[in-house]
Amino acid sequence: MVYSLAQIAHEFSLDYDGDGALSIIGVCGLSDDRKDHLAYVSERKMVLAAKTSNIPAFVTLPDCQVAGKANLFHANPEYALAKIGRLFTRSQLTQSDNIHPSAVVDTTADITSSTVLGANVVVGANSIIGERSVVMPGCVILDRVEIGCDCMIYPNCVVREDCTLGDRVVLQPGVVVGGDGFGYIKHHNEHVKIPQLGNVIIESDVEVGANTTIDRARFSHTRIRRGTKIDNCVMVAHNVQIGQRCIIVAQSGISGSTTLGDDVTLAGQVGLVGHINIANNVTLLGQSMATKDIREPGVWAGSPARPAKLWKRAFARLYAGLARE
């Protein structure tokens, strides 16, 4: 795929300076230093490296032009490059028919004419898959699942019975939606399994990273609200409620019946105990452990989690004391 600078500018309504006929074959980062590619400059300190690079064109701030290069202008260059990058997306699954001959689809399932099912996909009874959704090879969709429009379900995902996905949901490879919540009751010195009779509801515009698990609720719903993005290898336990536009980074674990508000960020390897509430606009720094409710917005750190400024002061005093010994 090759686009001229002028074509890119027109497609995304960008002003530009330089040779409009310049051919662009892809996008890259400044450190990649690739010929015939487009990169971005978001800070003045990047300009010198950009000027001396082999990259012929940049998306830049209007007042941050790179001399000697072609420039496209946007108030948020990195965002603009992310949008432009979609022009260069390559094919992911090529097959002659929308439904691969090896797919097994129950006769009661409702599959639209624009749905794509890859090799060895299984779709259970009374399930619904919306327009333009793609289910890649090896996925299993059990009974009474509802999948919206324009979803992308990558290979080897499982969506268990009665779960719901909204529109434009992305499940990266190996995601399991609706596995049993971890629930047992001890009786006569045995662990007796508690049936997990609820489901998982994933709202529109959610992306779930590879090998993440989202467990079904005991009675009602585990819910991931609109616009939330979840990284790889995250554990979401039964009955958890995650608000809108949250960011959950890799290897975090959210214990059962915990609720996150909107715009919450959990950095890598954060842990939340069960049955607590996290307010809107809370950030928990990496490897923090929240053991009780966090009721006010802000940045928290440590185990048990405390306001980050307090945590940093405490560690500074600790290490200062050790240095005096």
Beta strands per DSSP E along 9-157: 15-17, 23-24, 26-27, 37-41, 57-60, 70-73, 104-105, 110-111, 116-117, 122-123, 128-129, 134-135, 140-141, 146-147, 152-153
Q: Are 301 and 288 in contact (CB under 8 A)?
A: yes
3-state secondary structure at position 10: helix
| Radius of gyration in angstroms for the set of CA atoms belonging to the chain, rounded to a whole number | 24
DSSP per-residue codes, 285-308: -TT-EE-S-B-S-EEEETTTTEEH
Q: Are 93 and 75 in contact (CB under 8 A)?
A: no
Q: Which two tokens stand for residue 219?
A: 């009675």
**Residues in the chain, overall count:** 325
User: Which residue type, as a one-letter code, is found at position 119?
Assistant: A
* Matching residue, tokens 């004419």: 113
Distance CA 257, CA 293 (A): 12
My answer on whether omega of the bond before 307 falls inside 30° of 0, hence cis, is no
Distance CA 185, CA 218 (A): 13
Closest residue by Cα to residue 129 from 139, 14, 120: 139
Closest residue by Cα to residue 233 from 158, 300, 173: 173
- Which amino acids are annotated catalytic? 238
